[in-house]
Amino acid sequence: MQRFVYTSSNSVVMGGQNIAGGDETLPYTDRFNDLYTETKVVAERFVLAQNGVDGMLTCAIRPSGIWGNGDQTMFRKLFESVLKGHVKVLVGRKSARLDNSYVHNLIHGFILAAAHLVPDGTAPGQAYFINDAEPINMFEFARPVLEACGQRWPKMRISGPAVRWVMTGWQRLHFRFGFPAPLLEPLAVERLYLDNYFSIAKARRDLGYEPLFTTQQALTECLPYYVSLFEQMKNEARAEKTAATVKP
């Protein structure tokens, strides 16, 4: 193997602080409240340390929330919460923003990174934030998708830190005593009430990266997929409920 582009995450620098337009000079977080963040930090450090070893060139791409056609993670989790009746309030201030990585923009970033991962290139040994460069409040980002699925949007807002405190305690009970898993992981709650968005200036400079799709263009392209996914999940939930009620 001569070239290796690692899929990292923006969470490698997130330690519970507000980050507005952060760049790659931010240090790795040393606060590990979840295995995802801890393993991403360990893996990215290892991959970048291997750059130049036995002629192999490496770099790391740090996406934000990945979304688009085929998404079975970000919006699927939201849909599951909606169908279970868990989305009753909005968490945190409306001004809190995060960024996302539309799948085609992210793939474009990977291709550019691989193209620049050559001897004397700009990418070897480097990490890059790759996102849509349009930070937005998570609930405002999700609103058009949920409304297209025929769901009413909550209006009441509650304190983000308070929700995080509750979910942290719940998570401890889950791991220590086997309680059911919390509705939201503490890290997910932080993304709702803290600024956590990142600059793509380094990727622009080194890789020539520019998002191929705006958020609105991407939404127009993938909204039919999300509506179809929601209907599928709704029908599956209805079938499971029916099966449960007719059990002897």
Taking the chain, what is the end-to-end CA distance rounded to the nearest angstrom? 58
Structure-block tokens of residue 99: 């960024």
φ/ψ (deg, to 5) at 30? -115, 15
Structure-block tokens of residue 40: 């991403």
In Å, how far from its chain's centre is CA 150?
A: 24
Distance CA 217, CA 24 (A): 27
Catalytic hit among 28, 36, 193, 225: 36
CB atoms within 10 A of CB 238: 11
Q: Fill in the amino acid letter for 235.
A: N
Do residues 94 and 137 make contact, with C-beta atoms less than 8 angstroms apart? yes
Q: Fill in the amino acid letter for 201.
A: A
Do residues 193 and 96 make contact, with C-beta atoms less than 8 angstroms apart? yes
Catalytic annotation on 36?
yes
DSSP state of 17: S
The per-residue b/e assignment along 132-168, b for 16 or more CB within 10 angstroms, e otherwise, is: bbbbbbbbebbeebbeebebeeeeeeeebeebbeebe
Active site residue ranges: 36
